[in-house]
Amino acid sequence: MSDVRILGTGAYVPDRVVSNDEAAAAAGVDDAWVVSKTAIRERRWAADGEATSDLAAAAARAALESAGITADQLSVIVVATSTPDRPQPPTASYVQQKLGASGAAVFDVNAVCSGLVFALSAAEGVLARRGGHALVIGADLYSRILNPEDRRTVILFGDGAGAVVLSAEGHDEARGGGVRRGARIRHIALHSFGDCSDLIEVTGGGSRVPLDQEGLEAGLQYFTMDGRGVRSFVADNVPQLVKEFLHEAGVVPDEIRHFVPHQANGVMLDSLFADLGLPRATMHWTLAEYANTGAASVPITLDAAARAGAFSPGDLILLAGFGGGMAAGFALLEW
């Protein structure tokens, strides 16, 4: 069992609400089609002046307030994102600056939609050596990389950020010291499937295909996804990986009370949840109002459930991220 505990959670979404009809206008589909295919009803898109670090910092402030600590108490900040402010420096550097967390070591993690769980594992490792507190943020701003004419992708994504504050056991200074609250991390598992890396891509903008005018005209700056391939990947891999994960963690499926998955697609999640065989679990959703927010979707949904009072002491919570890479990450929390 981990010696690291989640002390607080936070989330932020932009003010602009975008309906299905608005998001899908150039793609030639309407609200009814989007709802039937995805269960998404609206999403939030960032304002012109907002970047990923702005969303991340806002979620971080909410999480720090929830945990009862200040930014100068942080040992490490990890930002999970696949839509950074810039290729360099890491988006976490901008978050550090915005928060005034001068004493923290900071870095980014890119595991696309599994990023929050991968970042949790990285931060847990740092705290095991260094102690203190960590801020882990999942933040993505997909509206900037969506092709408005691609109905397979433009309808799916929103912008947002979610954050958690971690504390190493024995180093907890929150709420006056000695307080054990939130959720203990009991187990984490990470999986990567590079042979499937072409299922989700942004082709241009890196060292392989630098963007030039020709590339921009060809749309290489846009996010692309093989939806059928992604659904097959999830159906073929995630249920078995969850079964193995629970076995490794020493729990049986009916002990899980809450399932907080990546908010990929509501229709796909219904099918996945049925295949997981978690008879006493509640699956938590935020996708109807926020859509798929990439690495932010798991922490946004965790924060929403926590603030709604959904969790009781002793409840076991399964976090599941899956997506580009391809990758999958799972975390077992005990509230």
pLDDT tens-digit map of 66-91: 999 999 999 999 999 999 999 999 99
Residues 6+ apart with CB under 8 A from 142: 83, 157, 158, 159, 223, 292, 293, 294
What pLDDT sits at residue 182?
75
- State the pLDDT confidence band at 181, using cuts at 50, 70 and 90: low
Residue 72: both structure tokens together? 């100068």
**Partners of 8 in beta bridges:** 165
- State the pLDDT confidence band at 168, using cuts at 50, 70 and 90: confident
pLDDT at 176 over 90: no
Q: Which residues are catalytic?
A: 113, 262, 292
- State the pLDDT confidence band at 129, using cuts at 50, 70 and 90: confident
Q: What DSSP assignment string belongs to 237-285?
A: HHHHHHHHHHHHHT--GGGEEEEEE--S-HHHHHHHHHHHT-TTPEEP-
pLDDT at 179 over 60: no
If one compares 104 and 177, the residue with the highest pLDDT of the two is: 104
* Residue % of the chain over a pLDDT of 90: 87
Mean pLDDT of the region 85-106: 96
What pLDDT sits at residue 131?
85
Closest-CA residue to 5 (of 179, 247, 176): 179
What pLDDT sits at residue 180?
43
Mean pLDDT of the region 283-296: 97
Rounded Cα–Cα distance for residues 9 and 331 (Å): 15
What pLDDT sits at residue 171?
42
What pLDDT sits at residue 300?
98
pLDDT at 161 over 90: yes
Rounded Cα–Cα distance for residues 183 and 4 (Å): 9
What pLDDT sits at residue 2?
56
Mean pLDDT of the region 138-151: 95
Rounded Cα–Cα distance for residues 299 and 160 (Å): 10
- State the pLDDT confidence band at 126, using cuts at 50, 70 and 90: very high
Mean pLDDT of the region 8-37: 95
Rounded Cα–Cα distance for residues 281 and 227 (Å): 27
Mean pLDDT of the region 25-54: 95
